[in-house]
Structure 1
Amino acid sequence: MQNTIIARTFAEAFYDIICDSEDKKDLLDQLSFLVKCVGEQHDFAVFLATPKISRVVKVDFIEKVFRGKLHDSLVNFLQVLTNKGHLSALCDIYREIESLQELEGSKVKVFVTTATPLAADLKTKVVNALKKKLSADIVLVEQVKADILGGFIIRVEDTLIDGSIKHHLEKIGNCILERSKTYGI
């Protein structure tokens, strides 16, 4: 969860820079290319993630290799990530930026987890209810996880609503344990 928050925070900050730039498409293309390289070049990914290599060395590497080849805003962003110790989160940050692009405008991405796939009519009801509640178009991302037993889990940005049977059973179990301690059972 912490990595997701870090990735989202940096993604939102850099996405603001991207949106304010006249070179928005180029910046996004360069970032996409860089992330692809990290994914394909194992040695490069290891270099970025290795804590034994000092931040100073990584910042210098980024300056020498990318300055003049990539947009200055992207190079500066990479150096900030390096100085903050989050360069290894670059791929996660890019995924968050893709989500922000997808949601550009008045759309909200909502993750719904259920034990079984939602029926079409129920999916429509959920989307309509969320659309009314959030006053935005909804991009519904369905996830099926049988281990929640039933019910649903809804995540909208940093808000989590856990209406799963598993969650309720755990709460009941914890309550019983607390009461048994109180009464010495």
Structure 2
Amino acid sequence: MAETSTVARPYAKAAFEYARDHGALDDWAGWLGKLSQVVASHDVQKLLSSPRLTTERKVTLVIEVADANVDDAARRFLATLGEKGRLSTLPAIAEQFERMRAEHEQRVDVTVVSAFALDDKQQQKLAGALKKRLNREISITTQVDPKLLGGVILRAGDTVIDGSVRGRLSRLSEALTA
């Protein structure tokens, strides 16, 4: 079977283009996020693979469990996914939708992992430097990992910049043993 991201791409693109053209990017991002969390559940995956439930019933169950307020276009989108046996790809669709949305809004979602919690001033300074370098709006999410010892690791999409002390020590160790 084709890789999930490959299967999800045309659906994510169609959803994004519809939402963009109808000024509903926030709405679609919201319910796609909710529905993808529900669909990722092991129990829901079992329900979706059941031949006993009709496609319409599967779609209705996912919407009800997610408590998502979806419009008619979204229901048709979900019905299409159900008919094609692709409801389980919703998490990948939501992820790709968010990437397209960030690109459209010229925004980069950056995860900053640091040894210690960053205060607001440090986050703003980092966001300012990244905005200047990337020429995009920056949305920062922070995580703390004491194992880093110091410094930070930045993750923006597929790009990872390891400026941590642990990373530097690891690279030094590799250089010395090579």
Q: Report TM bin, short chain.
A: 0.5 to 0.7
**Corresponding position of 1:124:** 124
Equivalent positions of 1:1-185 (< 5 A) are 9=9, 12-13=12-13, 14-20=15-21, 31=32, 34-35=35-36, 38=39, 43-48=43-48, 61-62=54-55, 66=59, 71-79=75-83, 82=86, 87-91=87-91, 93-94=93-94, 97=97, 105-178=105-178
TM-score computed with the length of structure 2 as normaliser:
0.63
Shift of the alpha carbon at 1:100? 6.2
Alignment check: 8 A CA contact 1:7 1:96 kept: no
SS of residue matched to 2:16: helix
Q: Distance in 2 between matches of 1:23 and 1:120?
A: 31
Alignment check: 8 A CA contact 1:113 1:145 kept: yes
SS of residue matched to 2:170: helix
Question: Alignment length, in residue pairs?
Answer: 164
Q: Distance in 2 between matches of 1:167 and 1:108?
A: 23
Q: Distance in 2 between matches of 1:4 and 1:118?
A: 36
SS of residue matched to 1:71: helix
Shift of the alpha carbon at 1:109? 1.5
Q: Which amino acid is the alignment partner of residue 55 of structure 2?
A: I
Any stretches of 5+ residues in structure 2 without a counterpart? 61-71
Range moving further from structure 2, 61-70 or 138-147: 61-70
RMSD: 4.3
SS of residue matched to 1:111: strand
Q: Distance in 2 between matches of 1:27 and 1:120?
A: 30
- Identity of paired residues, percent? 26
TM-score computed with the length of structure 1 as normaliser:
0.61
**Corresponding position of 1:181:** none
CA separation of 1:24 and 1:160: change in aligned 2, threshold 3 A: closer
Deviations 1:130-177 (A, max 9, x none): 111122222111111111111111111221111111111111222222
Deviations 1:104-126 (A, max 9, x none): 63332111110001233322221
SS of residue matched to 2:123: helix
Q: Distance in 1 between matches of 2:139 and 2:7?
A: 20
Q: Which structure has the greater CA radius of gyration?
A: 1
Range moving further from structure 2, 67-76 or 161-170: 67-76
Any stretches of 5+ residues in structure 1 without a counterpart? 179-185
CA separation of 1:175 and 1:157: change in aligned 2, threshold 3 A: same
Alignment check: 8 A CA contact 2:5 2:92 kept: no
Shift of the alpha carbon at 1:10? 6.8
